[in-house]
Structure 1
Amino acid sequence: MSQEHTSRTTNATVEAQYEEYLMPIWKELNVPVRRADGWTVEDFDGNEYLDVFSGISVTNVGHGNEAVVEAAKEQLDEFVHGCTYVHPHQPAAELGEKLAEVTPGDLQKSFFCNSGTEAVEGAIKLARKYTGNKEVLALEMSFHGRTLGSLALTGNKAYKSDMAPTINDVAHVAPPYAYRCQLCDGGPCSCACAEDVERVIDTHTADDLAAVVVEPVMGEGGIIVPPEGWLSRVQEIAHDHGALLIVDEVQSGYGRTGELWASDHFDVVPDIMPQAKGIANGLPLGAFTARPEIADAFESGDHLSTFGGNPVACAAALATIEELQGGIVDDARERGAWLSDRLADLEAYDVVGETRGLGLMQGVELVDPSDTGPMDVAPAPDPKLAKHVGHHLREAGIVIGVGGFHSNVLRFQPPLAIPRDELERTVAAIEDALDDWD
């Protein structure tokens, strides 16, 4: 596109093109983007916005990170495509070695694909091939993608409407959602949701379990952090039944939680670990990594991807990991701790039910205190208030995520080096929006 044509383009131009030529994906809180830098995006009308969502937890090392851009450009000058699984190339080989170095425990061999959805589906195929079993357990309120296979794992009917049937042999268990937990009857957390995995295996499976699939922090579910001991107990139960634990780090990985992997907070080494989103800071790439004996269950041709492990994306991923290891993960840990404390101040508002998160993956759950909600566990979710706050922030020049299972959670997932004053600006804008709520 010529500079002259770009200068004539407006937000309305792009929105009209989306309406006429793209299938329905547009949401009213979205901002058309002409350029982006660091933690700021600019639209076609010259408006600048603070981005505290980073494309759903993707640009972890910042929009336009110079090292990542240069690595991609250098690879573009060499070659763009060779199909990783036909022509071995150095960027994929080096990235595989790097992932073996930085992933938890003895995870070593990776398969490269294009997205988180593909990574999750590939992990399921590998678990089935290794164990010889077919059944899979996932969590209620979870999200693992939108293709038919990953959608079967996703525990939210909002994503499944009109899409059944998906794959068979999937059952769901209670999520570790302490704020609305009906298993602990509003008392102190007893990790009853972990023990519920045993019950569901006994009552909903045919003793043919291949894997239990979980997010270590549930992103789309509303930034749900499990209690201490939950993840290790789920892994123990899975192993007792001859199944593998697949920990979906697509959204929570690559420094997002203040550790390189959310699994690190819980001292758990997954059997297979899908990754994507932050892996290449915006270039399309996904991966799943496994222990050698599990990975070697795949034989040549069992699983392939034409564009998976694209050399440009792999070069960008290597630069992204180097940037993360250069101090950006430390930034996420320090700023996330500050943000967690600052968000806790919002609980003084009776419409804020809970604030929670790890690192720079933080959520604010908004509620209607006049409605006790189902089974009196907690006040009812208030998605209208969440939508109001999202609109208020956009008018104030801030892009934030609004989601969660009940569509009532504000989601902080900014670039990890975002300055503290920009986070304060966002929290202050939320306070303004809450004060404005009638």
Structure 2
Amino acid sequence: MDSTLSRQEILDISRETTLYEWTSQKAMKPLVIDRAKGIYMWDADGKRYMDFNSQLMCVNIGHGDQRVIDAVRAQMEKVCYIAPTVATTSPRAELGQLLKDITPGNLSKAFFTNGGAEANENAIKIARMYSGRHKILVRYRAYHGATAGAITLTGDPRRWAAEPGIPGVVRIPDFYPYRAGKDLDDAEYTASVLNATEDIIQFEGPHTIAAMIIETVVGTNGILIPSAAYIKGLRALCDKYGILLICDEVMSGFGRTGEWFAVDHWGVVPDMMTLAKGLTSAYVPLGATMVTDTIAEYFEDHPLYAGLTYNAHSVGCAAGVACINIYKEDKLVENARAMGEIVKAELAKMKEKHPSIGDTRAIGLFSLVELVKNRDTREPLTPYNPRPDQLGPMPAFNAFLRENGLFTFVRWNTFFVNPPLTITEQELREGLAIIDRGLDIIDAAVA
């Protein structure tokens, strides 16, 4: 290690002086990471791990790309910070143009934020200002961030401690065909979800609803991939009732699904799209709320009541410019698409082999395995929001992965396969083989 602190000193001081997120502090047993490069990271003892979750689905271009480091350093040597309301910079202009070029349809202007949660916060504010309405439609199987508004939009248990939250949030049905015992393209199931959604719109009063916000592909709540009919059906409902459609592409954007943005798979253009994570591959914090030219035009004559000290931060924008150019130069979107086909095929083989696998879902390098006690009943391996004593074999499975040099996100009865978009076929198959062996632990527990 370059630091003069030992591994244990780092753990002890971190424990004594900092708070870890989403956990009781006594339960936290973090890795101590010393360095990272490409798809790999090394801990303080020199042990190497394959990063099979791009950390939090964000380090899309891999760790330690010198081109981003150089771009950030060069910008810091010129100017680190300028107040966003009184001046602009070249990186802000360049990134704005790049985003306009790669986002779909008439999405044309970006409001820059510090990350995804703030992008969603400002999308809500913009929707309410633009529409003159106040309600926001959201789903339970959703995560939109941890700030006050975004956590209310979130449907999973992470919102409970922050309730009652902001007013005006209304839940609509999830699209989860596996849990309903249906195929992805089951027309009857899709129609039932859309009809129930329309009922709620009518019960709430369309004239009171500003926007519907969805993760285009649901992330940490299950990699729930929509059917074409469902996603287009939501767009049609929003058009019918004059409701703005906000697509949260914080996780699914920037090549993660094998297209620039997940909406591109189905030809849907939202009224707003929120971005972060892959925008800078998490080298520095940055998010963005993209709006259509129609919404942007409204604010030509109306004040935009939104602001952040670090809005359009020049260093963050420089990192964003560098990242987008890397996606293009290295053909990372295309690689995600090709490697994603391998992931889909290999996960399907694992499902045939391992009786504990209930379902596998993959789109590009955005994929998940859902584990069950019984395939016929689809009973989850763990209950919803399990206590530590209800996790069954999941901790042992996670420990096996770590012991064998693979890091990924293990949550409840699921685990994720979301490596950096730079991964090669050989690296991918090496990591999947580790997972394949680890699943024997789950099978034994289920049997």
Q: TM-score range by the shorter chain?
A: over 0.9
Cα distance, 1:7 vs. partner?
Answer: 4.5
Task: Work out the CA distance in 1 between the residues paired with 2:185 and 2:84.
Answer: 52
Residue 379 of structure 1: how far off its partner (Å): 2.5
Residues 1:264 and 2:259 are matched in the alignment:
no
Q: 1:296-321: per-residue Cα shift (whole Å, max 9, x none)?
A: 33444511111121111111101100
Q: Distance in 2 between matches of 1:397 and 1:64?
A: 19
Kindly indicate whether the alpha-carbon contact (under 8 Å) linking 1:84 and 1:310 is maintained by their aligned counterparts in 2. yes
Give the aligned partner of residue 88 of structure 1. 88
Q: Which residue of 2 aligns with 1:366?
A: 371
Gapped regions of structure 1 (runs ≥ 5): none
Does 2:72 align with 1:77?
no
Distance 1:303 1:57 in 2: 27
Could you say which residue in structure 2 is the equivalent of 1:396? 404
Amino acid of the structure 1 residue aligned with 2:414: V
Aligned with 1:387: secondary structure? helix
Q: CA–CA distance in 2 between the matches of 1:323 and 1:153?
A: 33
- Residue 108 of structure 1, CA deviation: 0.3
TM (norm. structure 1) is 0.92
Q: Distance in 2 between matches of 1:14 and 1:288?
A: 37
**1:165 partner amino acid:** P
Structure-2 separation of matches of 1:342 and 1:93? 42
**SS at the partner of 1:341?**
helix
Per the TM alignment, residue 380 of structure 1 is displaced from its structure 2 partner at its CA by 2.4
Structure-to-structure mapping, 1:414-429, within 5 angstroms:
414-429=419-434
Give the counterpart letter for 1:21 in structure 2. Answer: T
Q: Does 1:318 align with 2:321?
A: yes
**What corresponds to 1:188 in structure 2?**
186
Aligned length: 424
| CA distance in structure 1 between the partners assigned to 2:437 and 2:71 by the alignment | 42
AA of the residue aligned to 1:428: A
**What is the rounded CA distance, in whole Å, between the counterparts of 1:262 and 1:62 in structure 2?**
20
- Counterpart of 2:310, as a letter, is F
Within-5 A mapping of 1:36-435: 36-156=36-156, 158-181=157-180, 188-190=186-188, 191=190, 192-205=192-205, 207-282=207-282, 283-298=284-299, 299-300=302-303, 302-326=305-329, 327-348=331-352, 349-369=354-374, 376=377, 378-382=378-382, 383-403=391-411, 407-435=412-440
1:19 is matched with which residue: 12, 15, 25?
A: 15
Question: Residue 28 of structure 1: CA displacement?
Answer: 4.8
Distance 1:231 1:402, change over 3 A: same
Q: 1:411 to 1:189 in 2, by over 3 A?
A: farther
Task: Provide Cα deviations, 1:208-260, integer angstroms capped at 9, x if missing partner.
Answer: 01001011110011111011211111011112111100000000001100101
Contact 1:223 1:361 in 2 (8 A): yes
- 2:6 is matched with 9
d(CA) in 1 for partners of 2:94, 2:347: 40
Structure 1 pair 101/207, CA: closer, same or farther in 2 (3 Å)? same
Q: Distance in 1 between matches of 2:326 and 2:280?
A: 11
Structure 2 vs 1, CA of residues 31 and 122 (structure 1 numbering), >3 Å: closer, same or farther? same
Q: Give the conservation status (yes or no) of the 8 Å contact 1:41–1:51.
A: yes
Contact 1:29 1:390 in 2 (8 A): no
**Structure 1 residue 32: Cα displacement:** 2.2
Q: 1:169 to 1:8 in 2, by over 3 A?
A: closer
Q: Is the 8 A contact 1:123 1:274 kept in 2?
A: yes
Taking the aligned partners of 1:278 and 1:169, their CA distance within structure 2 comes to 30
Q: 1:186 to 1:118 in 2, by over 3 A?
A: closer
Q: Which amino acid aligns with 2:176?
A: Y
In structure 2, the residue corresponding to 1:149 is in which secondary structure?
helix
Letter in 2 for 1:350: P
Cα distance in 2, alignment partners of residues 13 and 112 from structure 1: 37
What one-letter code is carried by the residue in structure 1 that aligns with 2:13?
Answer: Q
Instruction: For residue 77 of structure 1, report the CA deviation from its aligned partner.
Output: 0.8
Between 380-389 and 30-39, report the one with greater CA deviation.
380-389
In structure 1, what residue type is equivalent to 2:289? F
Pair 1:301–1:174, CA change in 2 (3 A): closer
Helix, strand or coil at the partner of 2:161: coil
TM-score, normalization: structure 2? 0.90
Q: Which amino acid aligns with 2:163?
A: A
Between 21-30 and 90-99, the greater mean CA deviation after superposition = 21-30
Report the Cα offset of residue 338 of structure 1.
Answer: 0.8
Shift in alpha-carbon separation, 1:125–1:20, aligned structure 2, 3 A: same
Task: Output the CA distance in 2 between the equivalents of 1:187 and 1:388.
Answer: 35
**CA separation of 1:335/1:22 partners in 2, compared to 1, >3 Å: closer, same or farther?**
same
Aligned AA for 1:291? T
Q: Secondary structure at the match of 1:319?
A: helix
- State the shift of 1:78 in Å: 0.3
Whole-Å separation in 1 of the counterparts to 2:222 and 2:209: 28
- CA distance in 1 between counterparts of 2:196 and 2:298 reads 30
Unaligned runs of 5+ in 2: 383-390
Compute the displacement of 1:281 (Å): 1.6
